[in-house]
Amino acid sequence: MKRIKILITLLVALLFIINCEDSTSPEKATDPAEGLALIGEKTVQNTEVRVYSDKGLEVGYNKIYIKVTDSITDKLVEEANVSISTLMDMGQMKHASPYENPAGSTAEEGLFPCAATFIMSGMWELHVNVHNLDNNDVVEFQFDVEIAAAGNTKKVTGTDSMTYFITLVQPAAAKVGLNDFELTVNYQKNMMSFPAVEDVIVKIEPSMPSMGHGSPNNVDPAHQQHGHYMGKVNFTMTGDWRIDLNFFRGDSLMHTSYDINVQ
């Protein structure tokens, strides 16, 4: 009996110690970029920038996370005006691509979220501009990044003769059943500007060409914000599916399709 009492006392003491250690441990115990892929890191003046993505960069929609650190104090900077831009130098000509900047000047869970839609594979420049509101540094970073080939972005000419870029964002890994379906739509205003298209009607039609059937309960992608369209796609069995997408602005504007293997 005495032994059990001692044991309980020890256990309570141990729990108390663990609790104490927890409450006094440094607040930045976990790296906000944990689990992300590091694309590049550079320091200019007293500001260090680290660029991350979910995995490597490829043709299509890439979420990009910018981590800003004061290189003198080694403290995370959570107040900054961060913006990115993209550039591909093809010799005779240069062009940019669609990209998205953080909504505000406060970091979200320690990082500044951006996105870049690379429209072709090869070497690109990723430019990051930071106005560090902690130390007032205004710095510009250039990262040379290699973009892997992938089939997520389609270049389509509309019936209005404009060039559009349609990018499949979701599903990243298609499964049997109802999947979230997300597209981005941009148009090429000029070589450096690819604004979001927010006013088109999208009709989705999945089918299994090898078996000659479609599926019920699909939801046409509707515009949310910044050229993102969200809907649902229903894959009723595994195998090779085709998703036909028709775009309308009044009259028919354009068509594209994606071939998706459902595991």
- Spacing of C-alpha 237 from chain mean position: 28
Cβ proximity to Cu ion, 33 vs 120, nearer residue? 120
**Residue given tokens 């990115």 in the structure block:** 84
Contacts of 7 (CB under 8 A, 6+ apart): none
Q: Which of the stretches 82-90, 100-108, 154-162, 217-225 binds Cu ion when contact is defined by CB under 5 A?
A: 82-90
**Bond from prior residue into 102 cis (ω within 30 degrees of 0):** no
Interaction between residue 126 and Cu ion (CB under 5 A): no
Nearest approach, Cβ of residue 113 and Cu ion (Å): 25
Binding mask 95-124 for Cu ion (x = CB under 5 A): -------------------------x----
Q: Which of the stretches 85-93, 108-116, 142-150, 194-202 binds Cu ion when contact is defined by CB under 5 A?
A: 85-93
Interaction between residue 87 and Cu ion (CB under 5 A): no
Interface with Cu ion (CB under 5 A), residue total: 3
Nearest approach, Cβ of residue 180 and Cu ion (Å): 30
Contacts of 18 (CB under 8 A, 6+ apart): none
Residue nearest to Cu ion (CB): 88
Q: Which of the stretches 14-22, 90-98, 171-179, 214-222 binds Cu ion when contact is defined by CB under 5 A?
A: 90-98
The rounded distance, in Å, linking the Cα atoms of 131 and 24 is 32
Q: Which amino acid is at 46?
A: N
Q: Which tokens is 88 given?
A: 């591909």
- The conformation of residue 176, written as its DSSP 8-state character, comes to S
Interaction between residue 88 and Cu ion (CB under 5 A): yes
Q: How far is CA 77 from CA 54, 109, 178, 257, in A?
A: 21, 11, 40, 43
Vertex 72 angle, CA 71 and 77, to 5°: 55
Cβ proximity to Cu ion, 7 vs 90, nearer residue? 90
Cβ proximity to Cu ion, 36 vs 84, nearer residue? 84
Nearest approach, Cβ of residue 217 and Cu ion (Å): 39
Cβ proximity to Cu ion, 88 vs 233, nearer residue? 88
Q: What are residue 234's DSSP bridge partners?
A: 178
What are the residues binding Cu ion (CB under 5 A)?
A: 88, 90, 120
